[in-house]
């Protein structure tokens, strides 16, 4: 995949410096959350449904990220999963997921991450340009980062998407939303996908899924219902590693659908997803 054109950046700002900051932010928040994890994590509140939890450490992690950004880049805007939007004047927005994979964090399953990205343009996947991002998988310390036009790395080593021979031998990551009707539809879609691939992985963090795709640990990824903070950092890691990250029916990646992988496999998977109405284009009542 060819990186999108680099937009004009504020004076003195470079992609490399933004990427370095994204890594520092994600690892600092990761250390806070790792050290502060109690033996028994409790749910502080729920959001879109009773199975969509927030913990005290989601909030503490995002607070730390916001404080560090305010100190280092006071003119930038902030869009975070757990707090109010902060307006900025620089044209750059930090897109924050303080814990992606909160359910795993809650249960002590190792797949959860701090995800930090910085974007130019409106902070929504259809129109932003992601300049840099970092996904820090806190339990095992793996850290993926990417800068626009700079490539992607895991723990400093360049990564590339894998080259699965065919859709039939592809290992495909996916995820499910928090709404019951949406989940029922996602389960139906899965019945169309599963017989045509090697297997499915539902690991519980979209940010990590996109990074595993980037380093060839899985071959493809698709999910409906991603929020901007679930995907911003992972998407730049994946595209800089050679993946296409797109929506269905010629649209951009976003809430309706995100499909990622090598171009030819994405095209084949997208055909199945479109036929199964995986983006809800023919069933808007499901939401």
Residues that bind ligand LIP (CB under 6 A): 81, 97, 100-102, 175-177, 204-206, 223, 225, 230
Minimum CB distance to ligand LIP, residue 48 (Å): 9
End-to-end CA distance of the chain, in Å? 31
Q: Where are the beta strands (DSSP E) in 179-237?
A: 199-201, 220-223
Question: Considering beta carbons, is residue 55 or 268 the nearer one to ligand LIP?
Answer: 55
Q: Taking the complex as a whole, how short is the minimal distance between the CB of residue 101 and ligand LIP, in angstroms?
A: 5
**Whole-number minimum distance, CB 74 to ligand LIP, in Å?**
26
Distances (CA, A) of 126 to 21, 75, 123, 246: 24, 23, 9, 10
Q: Which is nearer to ligand LIP, 61 or 93 (CB)?
A: 61
Radius of gyration of the chain (CA): 18
> Would you say 101 or 262 has its CB closer to ligand LIP?
101
Nearest residue to ligand LIP, using CB? Answer: 175
**What's the closest the beta carbon of residue 85 comes to ligand LIP, in angstroms?**
17
**Sign of the dihedral defined by the CA atoms of residues 91, 4, 246, 217, in that order:** negative
Query: What does the alpha-carbon distance between residue 91 and residue 42 come to, in Å, rounded to a whole number?
Result: 37
Shortest approach of ligand LIP to residue 205 CB, angstroms? 5
> Of 51 and 276, which has the nearer Cβ to ligand LIP?
51
Question: Considering the complex, what minimum distance in angstroms separates the CB of residue 104 from ligand LIP?
Answer: 8
Q: Rank residues 177 and 280 by Cβ distance to ligand LIP and give the closer one.
A: 177
Tokens 């090598």: give the residue: 262
Which one, 179 or 277, has the nearer CB to ligand LIP?
A: 179
The full length of the chain comes to 287
> Token pair for residue 279?
């983006």
Burial 258-277 (b: 16+ CB within 10 A, else e): bbbbbeebbebbbebbbebb
Cα gap 138→34, rounded to integer Å? 7
């Amino acid at each position: 995949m060819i990186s999108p054109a680099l937009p004009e950046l504020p004076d003195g700002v470079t992609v490399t410096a933004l990427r370095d900051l994204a890594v520092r932010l994600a690892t600092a928040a990761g250390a806070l959350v790792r050290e502060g994890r109690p033996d028994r994590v409790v749910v502080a509140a729920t959001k879109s449904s009773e199975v969509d939890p927030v913990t005290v450490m989601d909030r503490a992690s995002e607070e730390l990220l916001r404080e560090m950004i305010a100190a280092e880049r006071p003119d930038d805007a902030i869009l975070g999963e757990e707090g109010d939007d902060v307006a900025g004047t620089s044209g750059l927005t930090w897109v924050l997921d303080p814990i992606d994979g909160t359910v795993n964090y809650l249960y002590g399953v190792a797949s959860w991450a701090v995800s930090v990205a910085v974007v130019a343009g409106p902070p929504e996947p259809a129109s932003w340009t992601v300049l840099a991002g970092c996904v820090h998988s806190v339990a095992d310390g793996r850290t993926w980062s990417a800068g626009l036009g700079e490539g992607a790395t895991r723990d400093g080593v360049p990564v590339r998407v894998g080259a699965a021979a065919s859709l039939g031998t592809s290992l495909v990551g996916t995820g499910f939303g928090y709404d019951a009707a949406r989940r029922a539809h996602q389960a139906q879609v899965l019945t169309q996908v599963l017989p045509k691939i090697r297997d499915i992985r539902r690991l519980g963090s979209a940010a990590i899924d996109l990074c595993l795709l980037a380093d060839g640990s899985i071959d493809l990824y698709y999910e409906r219902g991603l929020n901007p903070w679930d995907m911003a950092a992972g998407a730049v890691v994946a595209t800089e590693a050679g993946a296409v990250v797109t929506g269905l029916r010629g649209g951009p990646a976003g809430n309706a659908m995100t499909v990622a992988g090598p171009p030819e496999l994405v095209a084949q998977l997208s055909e199945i997803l479109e036929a199964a109405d995986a983006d809800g284009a023919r069933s808007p009542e499901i939401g």
